[in-house]
Amino acid sequence: MADDIETRTKVTILTPTYRIKGFIDLVPGARVTDYINEAKDFIALTDAEVRESEGRIVLNVPFLNLSRDHVVIVTPGH
């Protein structure tokens, strides 16, 4: 059923230490802001790449749970 299909949305998340790129699953028509506001303690990302602020890749993983407490900026794409 089309209403049950989730859409992968690419996001970039900045923490005080890291730049994280990956995908979150959004229901069609939902906004990234809504997803972040409704997330409990963690944000689930798939195909995540974590870089230090200097640009060195620290981690490439198929799944990452990121604590909301560490998020400074979230932007779609990039």
pLDDT in tens, 23-43: 998 888 888 888 888 888 999
pLDDT at 1: 43
- Tokens representing 28? 């069609």
Taking residue 16's Cβ as centre, other Cβ atoms within 10 Å add up to 8
Q: How far apart are CA 35 and CA 68, in angstroms?
A: 12
- 43: containing domain: 2-76
The CATH number covering residue 69 comes to: 2.30.30.100
Q: For all residues of the chain together, what is the average pLDDT? A: 88
Domain count, the chain: 1
The helix or strand, by DSSP H or E, that contains position 75, with its residue range, turns out to be strand 73-76
pLDDT at 5: 54
